[in-house]
Structure 1
């Protein structure tokens, strides 16, 4: 098997997490909504424990955690769930960026169809959003700002703290898609000016199909979200449906392990990134994005097409050339286009992403493949 280097798309489930998930599927399989027997009580206990574990990542109270199927659903609830509030307040302006994940851009495009105005902030050549640009875009009728923390394609870490400062004195709600940073770069997410945080389990060594939306309070008042789905009343009626107890418990444990082991994991990632950058320098690779996560490198090697390279690499390493959510599309990356990169650089862009579980990259074999492409 090739070495897996596509951790921005998904990660391998931690063994401790997998063991817990399996146990709750086979041995303690109760429904957390069942109040008449011990199976239900046990399931509810696991859910509440997980709620505490997830909240601990950002120093929040467990009451802020709404379990969802993943960051995509969390993003949809955060964005579409504010529609009624915005209309009642007669505020119809949204600020986001051109480099957001499709699970943010498409719900916002739906709101545009419903009469909302949207300002899309461009990225600079480094893949970063300027906080001054955000501040200048604010209007009296701006009710929502949605900006991701770490870009899923380039790994560029956005200056969330500066955005929080830019929003001081304005009452717009601030939503952060933290799918790529939750449990890895969590410190800035503790900033109380952030109202809503989306998190994903399968980017943090938990199973696919589980995530969370952190819904904070201002003073004693929660962000006024309305449900976009109905039926059952679970998760304080904001996200109905039978709770996936095994996945929730697994996500909770993954968060606990992340809090405990984050420094060591980050150090491993940094060391591996140094090796990757040293290797790429031999081929005059252009790095796409700056101020990037230590878990990813997006690069272009002159005269090398990404599609051809990925086919050539397939028996050595598993990499990608963009978001896994749009991998069936051959349209140029909207992220790299916003950065103003030229067509050849965009067409040659390859994303290599790893985790603390990545043992070693086969640089010798990878070099042989690159030489064949040049």
Structure 2
């Protein structure tokens, strides 16, 4: 596997990214009935204008019950396709690639928005029943979810596959499955949240089964030339939980079943995890997965400086860097990084006179 520089292209199946900078999926909690609006167009479109190669739309629920909050985006209805298609078209016109993350919140759903405190949303205020691998709440103050039945799992497979088809119809060029941060697919993976005794629990193979089946279902629902990503929490940061060795074994299987890149994050399963947050703290996880599974990875988490991102790629720790909060602070970070690394700047034509040099 080759090493790269920040402004070298990356080819994945039938898609080529113009550089190695991706906008990480970040929930905005501003949708109504799952529908994207002008906020999403400006929020996502400005980062495409700013020079990022991949614009990943936030966690997009595959069913109404899969939302984190009432303000989450959705792709459970055909009416939700065109508002997202408008955004995908704009992103493409800026030379960037539109991607979308498909998700189900599981036991971390039915909450108020973060600026409203993020507390569980009761049924009297529009809340909904929660679904998880087992009847275990996220925290002592959280509602107890219902353990998914065989019928629920069959519905999940249909919902993810149908959402993937709608993503294709909307013009997205990359699909990512959200199996990190304590949401439903992560709840099935971790032994701390999955206490099932059926085919979807117990052994690592059983706990991995839902994600593998979803990958196969989504891979079948999207074109062969379309890349498929999976975001993974590589470790729970909790003794006895999901660990890096589990991630390694899973990713070997994911590659075999058609996954093209692992977006490597960590944590989120339980609120008491002790996470050693610092610049580059998740980069060794991405590096380990890249080498052990012999597949492309994305590094994410407190990557804020151009030379920092360049070094991650130059060392071969990852193939792509995902920027989150730093792109919220500065939509034009990629162009600033070009200047910092003495690369030729390529601002959009209407801005060129102001950004020359």
* TM-score class normalised by the smaller sequence: under 0.3
- Select the structure of larger CA radius of gyration: 1
